[in-house]
Amino acid sequence: KAPVNAPAAAERGVTWRFGFSDFLLRISLFASVLTATVLLAAANQTIVLQLPFPPFEISRTAKYLLTALSVTGLYSVVSSALSLFAVFSHGKHLVLVYHFVILDLLLLGILSAATGASGAVAYLGYKGNSHTNWLKLCNRYDKFCRYVGTSIFISLFASVLLLLLVLRTIRSLARKITK
């Protein structure tokens, strides 16, 4: 004989599955952000050259990316704890889900902008600019370029994880609204 509260049990199961997968995505986000932060912080190489290089500091975009990664890492730790709380509260967390969507979107924009800015500067350092006679930096700063490039790639992966979190949360909200 089927249990009387079968729809309620099924709804609780969906909430639990959503909460658990949300928690796993947030932990993956933290791991990727931590890896990118460590790589970016460890990227240091000093060589004295008397050549024409671009008149800007690479460290500005690196600081911007490092700050965005740090804020995203802190947010992923806090939101992972709140996600676990939401799982154990048995589906009584609709307001928390709304806040997740807003904050996930905000951090997606910040992290994507920082990744794009750092990627543009890294590309200029990798290719140079023949029109302005700026030379390639990565021929001489190979370790630095490898670390920064890997950090940018991992932060791009973190942006994709944030996008997946936003899409999953919006899908969950859409299901709750239609019920």
| Sites in the chain below the pLDDT cut of 50 | 6-7, 9-14, 55-56
Per-residue pLDDT, 41: 83
**pLDDT of 163:** 95
Residues β-bridged to residue 129? 134
Query: In terms of C-beta distances under 8 Å and separation of at least 24 residues, what long-range contacts does 24-28 make, across chains too?
Result: 25/161, 25/164, 25/165, 25/168, 26/76, 26/79, 26/80, 26/83, 26/165, 27/76, 27/80, 28/161
Give residue limits of the domains in the chain.
6-178
Instruction: Quote the pLDDT of residue 14.
Output: 47
Q: Cβ–Cβ contacts within 10 Å for residue 156, how many?
A: 18
pLDDT of residue 129: 75
Taking only the tens place, the pLDDT of each residue in 100-127 is: 899 999 999 999 999 999 998 888 878 8
pLDDT score of 10: 44
Alpha carbons 11 and 96: distance in angstroms, whole number: 17
**Residue 144: φ, ψ to 5°:** -60, -45
Specify whether the CB–CB gap between 26 and 165 falls below 8 A.
yes
Say if CB 26 and CB 104 are below 8 A apart.
Answer: no
- In the beta sheet, which residues pair with residue 134? 129
Per-residue model confidence as pLDDT tens digits over 22-46: 889 999 999 999 999 998 888 776 5
